[in-house]
């Protein structure tokens, strides 16, 4: 992946704070993503995640080390999947699709929240200075990483969330077969990432999502700047 190679070449660990900010932002994004998967499943009748302690904002319950590294390096990655027993859903196919969709939707909302809060932090930094610069950096990383996580997981490649949504639209006989072979999709996904096939659509769609969030937040910045600066 070209982006990964460039990032590694330029990487400097001169500032421990910068590294900690990136890791903290990554942990927040994956924690929100996986917790919302579990909440959606619980609301639709499957309490598996709840019983296994995955309805938690403790990031240690959700971390997949490789996925976290990918989040920090190339701005998209994954977490340890929330356990789901689709047999407990009142409507198994719809329940699985909505549970899968809850993760990316939560990251879209988190992206918007981070961009809006960053606007507030910018105004406060201009007025008061100081540690608000770290808050700005943190929220910027949260927005970028959360947008990347949302877009990445919506691709219809097993085991990503998008595949579960697409599979739910298929007839039952095809759905069952595809779900049985879902685990092999990880090999395809890793190959596509290694070859850089997904880089262009991922960066393009992530940029569009960030631009839309910025468009929503811009009026707030103008309002706050007029009142406080």
Catalytic residue list:
34
Exposed, middle or buried: residue 187 (CB in 10 Å: 0-12, 13-18, 19+)? exposed
Non-local CB neighbours of 207 within 8 Å, separated by 6+ positions: none
Contact criterion met (CB below 8 Å) for 39 and 55 = yes
Q: CA-to-CA distance for 162 and 160, rounded, in angstroms?
A: 6
How far from each other are the two terminal CA atoms of the chain, in whole angstroms? 43
CA angle, 143 then 146 then 151, to 5° = 120
Q: What is the DSSP string of 183-216?
A: GGHHHHHHHHHHHTTTHHHHHHHHHHHHHHHHHH
């Amino acid at each position: 992946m070209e982006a990964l190679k460039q990032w590694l070449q330029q990487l400097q660990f001169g500032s421990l704070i910068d590294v900690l900010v990136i890791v903290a932002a990554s942990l927040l994004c994956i924690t929100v993503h996986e917790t919302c998967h579990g909440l959606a499943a619980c609301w639709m009748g499957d309490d598996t995640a709840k019983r296994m302690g995955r309805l938690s904002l403790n990031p240690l319950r959700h971390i997949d080390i490789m996925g976290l590294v990918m989040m920090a390096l190339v701005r998209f990655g994954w977490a340890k999947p929330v356990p789901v027993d689709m047999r407990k859903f009142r409507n198994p196919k719809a329940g699985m699709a909505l549970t899968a969709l809850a993760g990316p939707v939560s990251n879209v909302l988190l992206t918007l929240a981070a961009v809006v809060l960053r606007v507030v932090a910018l105004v406060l930094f201009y007025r008061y200075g100081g540690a608000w610069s770290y808050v700005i950096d943190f929220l910027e990383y949260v927005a970028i990483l959360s947008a990347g996580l949302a877009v990445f997981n919506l691709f219809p490649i097993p085991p990503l969330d998008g595949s579960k949504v697409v599979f739910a639209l298929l007839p039952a006989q095809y759905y069952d077969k595809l779900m049985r072979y879902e685990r092999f999709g990880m090999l395809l996904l890793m190959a596509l990432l290694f070859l850089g096939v997904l880089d262009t659509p991922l960066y393009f769609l992530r940029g569009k999502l960030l631009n839309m969030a910025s468009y929503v937040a811009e009026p707030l910045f103008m309002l706050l700047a007029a009142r406080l600066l």
